[in-house]
Amino acid sequence: MTHATSGGPPHPASSPERTARHVGIIMDGNGRWALARGLPRAAGHRAGVENVRTVVEAGVEAGIRHLTLYAFSTENWNRPPAEVRGLLGLIDLYLERELNALDRNGVRLRHLGSLEGLAPATRRRVQQAVRRTARNDRLHLNIAFNYGGRAEIVRAARQLLSTNPAPEQITEARLAACLDTAGQPDLDLVIRTGGEMRLSNFLLWQAAYAEIYVSQVYWPDFDRAEFMSALESYAARQRRFGRVATTTRASAA
């Protein structure tokens, strides 16, 4: 993992083919951001919601086509009940405030994860937002809410097995077509804010060859400049996918 600090000069601009197609963000540090300011953790989560607009706009500006935000994991149910209730309300808050602007700006929303366990009104709101933006194509914005990577793979396996395939017909491509992200490219870059060095059950299949960038900045403070620094870091890397490096430096070594 690249362990980044805030500030510092960005990497040189790269060619268009070095632009990440699919970026995933583990939006971590909301609670710590609040506690550092003497605020309740809920205030940090609300500040995190406010910051989503900044990063989505920066993603559109940078030419990213697919952006996945990790908003609520299946493990988050284990947090104190009051905090869970607050987190569950954030998806309603976000859609209420941002849906019109997202639709107007050509953003297509997609929900990753399960709607089970969510309030009926929340499920309807999410489904309506997905339907309303289904024809948009400027940016595909995935909200991973009540999501876990292992649970997603299990769902995909069950869906594939329901077609009664012969063993030799079970392929990576067919399983990928049953994932929540079916039809989208795998992750090119995973960004984690808040300094922790783990994936936390986030898009485990899709992140198989993703580059990873860890920022010390808590999510509410992860602004456009921080996001662009992460993208510049990605653009400066050489992705080998298990192959031998082809650069002059690598050949000389």
Q: What is the pLDDT of residue 210?
A: 97
Query: Quick one: tokens of 45?
Result: 């989560």
Based on the residue annotation, tell me whether 223 is a catalytic residue of this protein. Answer: no
Q: Which of 51, 76, 103, 221 is catalytic?
A: 76
Residue 162 DSSP class: T
Give the helix/strand (H/E) hosting 82.
helix 81-104
Q: What is the pLDDT of residue 139?
A: 97
The count of residues in the chain is 253
Q: Residue 40 in contact with residue 80, Cβ under 8 Å?
A: no
Residue 199, sorted as left (phi over 0), alpha (psi -120 to 50) or beta, turns out to be alpha
Query: Quick one: tokens of 162?
Result: 């329901």
Q: Among residues 185, 203, 186, which one has the least CA distance to residue 69? A: 203
Q: What is the pLDDT of residue 5?
A: 45
Q: Residue 28 in contact with residue 193, Cβ under 8 Å?
A: yes
Q: What is the pLDDT of residue 24?
A: 98
Phi, psi (5° rounding) for residue 121?
A: -65, -40
Q: Residue 122 in contact with residue 88, Cβ under 8 Å?
A: yes
Q: Among residues 167, 176, 231, which one has the least CA distance to residue 24? A: 231
Cα distances from 126 to residues 92, 187, 188, 203, 239, in angstroms, run 8, 23, 26, 20, 35
Per-residue pLDDT of the chain (253 residues; tens, 9 = 90+): 655 544 443 333 444 567 899 999 999 999 999 999 999 999 999 999 999 999 999 999 999 999 999 999 999 999 999 888 888 888 999 999 999 999 999 999 999 999 998 999 999 999 999 999 999 999 999 999 999 999 999 999 999 999 999 999 999 999 999 999 999 999 999 999 999 999 999 999 999 999 999 999 999 999 999 999 999 999 999 887 777 766 544 444 3
Would you state the CATH architecture of domain 2-238? Answer: 3-Layer(aba) Sandwich (3.40)
Task: Write out the DSSP string of 196-227.
Answer: ----TTSSTTTTTT-EEEEESS-GGG--HHHH
The amino acid at residue 120 is P
Residue 139 makes CB contacts below 8 A (sequence gap 6+) with 56, 59, 60, 64, 65, 66, 67, 105, 106, 107, 108
Based on the residue annotation, tell me whether 78 is a catalytic residue of this protein. Answer: no
Q: What is the pLDDT of residue 245?
A: 66
Q: What is d(CA 203, CA 125) in angstroms, rounded to the nearest whole number?
A: 24
Q: Among residues 28, 30, 25, which one has the least CA distance to residue 58? A: 25
Q: What is the pLDDT of residue 180?
A: 98
- Residues paired with residue 141 on neighbouring β-strands, in sequence order: 67, 109
